[in-house]
Amino acid sequence: MHHVAIDRSNELGWQVRFHYTPPVTRIVYGANPVRELIRARPAEVSVVYLAAGDTGPTLKEIAHLCKDRQVAFEERERSALDALAGDAARHQGVLAVTGELAYADLDQLLDDLEEQKVAPLLVVLDGVQDPRNLGAIVRSAHALGAHAVVVAKDRAAPVTAAAVKASAGATEVTPICRVTNLVRALETIQSRNIWTFGAVIGAAPAPAALDLRGAVALVLGAEAKGLRPLVLRACDHQVQIPMTGRVASLNVSVAAGILLYEVARQRHGAK
């Protein structure tokens, strides 16, 4: 958030200097992400830009959706969309300007899950800094039944346009909790009788050897460093994905998908 200093003269001619904080905006691009954003939170969308001259069915559908949800939209030259999304961005001819992502409150989320009497499935990320990895993890979490993704405020990727695009819009419909202290967040999660499983490389049980049918939080670390020792010590259990290749580790988003699938497999099997 940038603070802009502005000089103004008052009635007596004195120079008055104050700080103005402009409103925070967020760019969301790509057909699926924009579609999910309009469906989930239409009131938060300032405007949707559609590529001028594109008469394809996807943009027509999004235009109709904007009309239905009373979201402002207009056509812009594709070069203008390139500039807003970034030259390398694949915006698919559609881009939305919206407000800052509304993060979920962890305690409130856990209260809601207790009230619904469901076995929580959470994904907790320690130091994942690549927005595309974050987006891919949120996408898998949404697809495989996780109730929320928990991230730290510091040393972690924010929900950027790249993260939204990589999630195929799942960031707009999946609760994301941002916490100040990850270890304390794990303590809060454990206080609700949720078992925490830290993903490691080395001597630990394989996912299939663990009972993941109950209340579970999967804790995964940064792309190259893994879980910090303090975070790993805070976990109840450890889990490792067996590998036979020469590469030492998996991409964190791939590892999250594998662990989430094993939870889903066990839970569906239990049903």
Domain with 119 in it: 106-270
CA separation for the pair 131, 135 (Å, rounded): 6
Same domain, 52 and 174: no
Percent helix, strand, coil in the chain, to 5, is 40, 25, 35
- Per-residue model confidence as pLDDT tens digits over 133-187: 999 999 999 999 999 999 999 888 888 888 888 898 899 889 999 999 999 999 9
Work out the percent of the chain whose per-residue pLDDT is above 90. Answer: 59
Is it the case that residue 8 has pLDDT exceeding 80? no
**Mean pLDDT computed over every residue of the chain:** 86
Same domain, 214 and 82: no
Q: List phi, psi (to 5°) of 148.
A: -170, 160
Answer with the residue of higher pLDDT: 12 or 199: 199
pLDDT for the residue 24? 57
pLDDT for the residue 168? 86
Answer with the residue of higher pLDDT: 192 or 160: 192
CA 54 to chain centre: 30
Domain boundary among 99, 114, 140: 99
Range 67-72 average pLDDT: 93
Could you tell me if residue 252 is inside a domain?
A: yes
pLDDT for the residue 14? 46
Same domain, 61 and 115: no
pLDDT for the residue 9? 45
The pTM score is 0.81
Q: How confident is the model at residue 20 (pLDDT cuts 50, 70, 90)?
A: very low
Domain at 111, CATH number:
3.40.1280.10
Q: Which residues contact 261 (CB under 8 A, 6 or more apart)?
A: 144
What sign for the dihedral angle of Cα 141, 153, 97, 82? negative
CA atoms within 13 A on the CB side of 49: 21
Same domain, 183 and 230: yes
| Range with lowest mean pLDDT among 10-24, 88-102, 141-155 | 10-24
- Per-residue model confidence as pLDDT tens digits over 213-236: 999 999 999 877 889 999 999 999
What sign for the dihedral angle of Cα 29, 30, 33, 36? positive
CA atoms within 13 A on the CB side of 261: 8
Same domain, 198 and 236: yes
Residue-by-residue DSSP string for 119-185: --EEEEEES---HHHHHHHHHHHHHTT--EEEEESSSS----HHHHHHTTTGGGTS-EEEES-HHHH
Same domain, 213 and 151: yes
State the total domains in the chain: 2
Range 103-107 average pLDDT: 94
DSSP reduced 3-state for 95: strand
CA separation for the pair 88, 66 (Å, rounded): 26
CB 122 within 8 A of CB 112: no
Range 14-18 average pLDDT: 45
- What are the tokens at 1? 């958030």
pLDDT for the residue 249? 72
Same domain, 121 and 178: yes
